[in-house]
Amino acid sequence: MTQPVGKQRVLVLNGPNLGRLGSREPDVYGATSYAGLVDRCTALGKELGFQVEVKETNSEQQMIEWLHWAADERTPVVINPGAFTHYSYAMRDAAAQRTAPLIEVHISNPHAREEFRHTSVISAIATGTIAGFGIGSYELALRALANQLAER
């Protein structure tokens, strides 16, 4: 995978059930569809000078492979691990190998929800975490990433 000259590639990775946005618990996750999320991330990415690639998987193995690729290619990551957030030490270990900023995002505020959602195995190795702003959490993360990369 080669990136165009002048464009910083950014991966926006989504874990289990996030492909069901818009129909999955809209009172918690909002009415924006997954396609809407992709459109918003790629449009803002373009504005920020990024080539944003948005991916979603229900497979822990696939997520780990994407994180390995990002580490090998020094590609920044915005990640919503979904349920993997709370227990996937394998994914945490893959994310810890990062060679570029990695920002954890959540649509809802995990600390305002069930007890099991209060723990993230990713937060400690992430550059930062943004949660509770709906789909806007992704936009805030992309802007924070632009600031991080500008400071380098």
Asked if 38 and 78 count as a contact pair (C-beta separation under 8 A), the reply is no
Asked if 14 and 54 count as a contact pair (C-beta separation under 8 A), the reply is yes
For position 88, which CATH number holds?
A: 3.40.50.9100
Residue 108 annotated in ligand binding: yes
Residue from 106, 111, 118, 138 carrying the catalytic annotation: 106
User: Residue 52: its pLDDT value, please?
Assistant: 98
- Residue 128 resides in a domain: yes
Q: Which helix (H) or strand (E) holds 129?
A: strand 128-131
Residue 74 annotated in ligand binding: no
Domain residues for 72? 8-151
Per the structure, the count of domains in the chain is 1
Is this structure's pTM higher than 0.85?
yes
Token pair 């990775």: residue: 13
- Residue 3 resides in a domain: no
Dihedral sign for Cα atoms in the order 48, 148, 60, 22: negative
pLDDT mean for each 10 residues of the chain (152 residues): 65 87 65 87 97 96 97 98 88 96 91 72 94 94 95 82
User: Residue 84: its pLDDT value, please?
Assistant: 86
For the question of residue 34 being annotated catalytic, the response is: no
User: Residue 17: its pLDDT value, please?
Assistant: 77
User: Residue 87: its pLDDT value, please?
Assistant: 78
User: Residue 33: its pLDDT value, please?
Assistant: 83
- Residue 120 resides in a domain: yes
